[in-house]
């Protein structure tokens, strides 16, 4: 991903140096979706805040430069101070590689996420759009209570999922034990063979025991 709508080109080439926080607007739209559909997004607000912070001040090279060409092509030596770092992928680390680490990834997941194949239709009415207080007011209001609420919510979700997993595991173990015992009985029980009739005949009785069917083997 390229820079967050902030151009690093000279003013003569960047339209008078005008800038637009396009990436911030995109993050705000995603947050509006997460507020209207709290069960539909696998990640939470913490990931959006981390992306916003790293888009403007980061230890990683994910958001450097304006486009993919600047990220790959070596800049002119006389203008290098005014351009992005050359060969960003070779000289910097990726933010996504850090966020995808198991210990980091679980910090940004939404504990209320539930997979839903249906299409979501967000409301675009003016009264449906709200101020993203988690971003714009996060230095005004303390985040301690929000962190505690999120931790408690995560604990409740895991507590509700635990009995279901244990029940499924116990049913599976019982079925496996039953299958093993059935195989053991089949192997342990001897097979009773009926002795052949001395005259080469075998008599079979019907279920009612009234009729008898005699099958005579052909003489050799």
Tell me the three state secondary structure of residue 174: helix
Q: How far is CA 80 from CA 10, 184, 209, in A?
A: 12, 77, 103
Tell me the three state secondary structure of residue 214: strand
Q: Look at residue 15 in the predicted model and tell me its pLDDT.
A: 53
Strands (E), the chain: 201-205, 212-216
Higher pLDDT, 185 or 126: 126
Higher pLDDT, 214 or 159: 159
Q: Look at residue 97 in the predicted model and tell me its pLDDT.
A: 92
Question: Average pLDDT in the 116-136 region?
Answer: 91
Higher pLDDT, 139 or 188: 139
Q: Look at residue 20 in the predicted model and tell me its pLDDT.
A: 79
Residue 215's pLDDT band, with cuts at 50, 70 and 90, is very low
Residues 6+ positions from 158 with CB-CB distance below 8 Å: 111
* Cα 90 from chain centroid (whole Å): 28
Burial of 178: CB neighbours in 10 Å, binned 0-12, 13-18, 19+: exposed
Q: Which residues pair with 214 in a beta bridge?
A: 203
**In the chain, how long is the greatest CA-to-CA distance?**
114
Q: Look at residue 155 in the predicted model and tell me its pLDDT.
A: 78
Model confidence at 138: pLDDT above 50: yes
- Its pTM stands at 0.57
Q: Look at residue 99 in the predicted model and tell me its pLDDT.
A: 94
Residue 214's pLDDT band, with cuts at 50, 70 and 90, is very low
Q: Where are the domains of the chain?
A: 22-139, 142-173
Of 3-12, 23-32, 204-213, the range with the lowest mean pLDDT is 204-213
Tell me the three state secondary structure of residue 212: strand
Model confidence at 44: pLDDT above 60: yes
Q: Is the Cβ–Cβ distance between 99 and 50 less than 8 Å?
A: yes
How far is Cα 70 from Cα 86, in angstroms, rounded to an integer? 7
Model confidence at 129: pLDDT above 90: yes
Model confidence at 212: pLDDT above 70: no
Burial of 44: CB neighbours in 10 Å, binned 0-12, 13-18, 19+: buried
Q: Look at residue 108 in the predicted model and tell me its pLDDT.
A: 93
Q: Look at residue 171 in the predicted model and tell me its pLDDT.
A: 67
- Per residue in 15-42, pLDDT (tens digit) is 556 677 899 999 999 999 999 999 999 9
Q: How far is CA 44 from CA 78, 93, 138, 174, in A?
A: 44, 24, 15, 38
Residue 81's pLDDT band, with cuts at 50, 70 and 90, is very low
């Amino acid at each position: 991903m390229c820079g967050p709508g902030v151009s690093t080109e000279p003013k003569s080439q960047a339209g008078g140096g005008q800038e637009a926080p396009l990436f911030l607007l995109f993050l705000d739209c995603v947050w509006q979706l997460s507020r209207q559909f709290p069960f539909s997004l696998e990640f939470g607000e913490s990931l959006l805040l981390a992306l916003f912070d790293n888009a403007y001040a980061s230890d990683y090279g994910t958001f450097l430069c304006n486009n993919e060409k600047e990220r790959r092509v070596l800049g002119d030596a006389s203008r290098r101070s005014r351009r992005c770092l050359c060969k960003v992928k070779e000289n910097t680390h990726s933010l996504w590689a850090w966020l995808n680490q198991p210990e980091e990834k679980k910090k940004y997941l939404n504990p209320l996420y539930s997979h839903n194949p249906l299409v979501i239709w967000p409301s675009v009415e003016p009264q449906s759009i709200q101020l993203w207080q988690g971003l714009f007011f996060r230095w005004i209001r303390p985040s301690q209570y929000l962190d505690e609420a999120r931790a408690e919510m995560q604990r409740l979700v895991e507590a509700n999922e635990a009995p279901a997993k244990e029940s499924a595991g116990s049913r599976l173990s019982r079925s496996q034990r039953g299958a093993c015992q059935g195989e053991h009985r089949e192997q342990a029980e001897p097979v009773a063979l009926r002795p052949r009739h001395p005259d080469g005949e075998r008599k079979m009785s019907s279920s009612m025991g009234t009729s008898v069917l005699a099958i005579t083997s052909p003489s050799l």
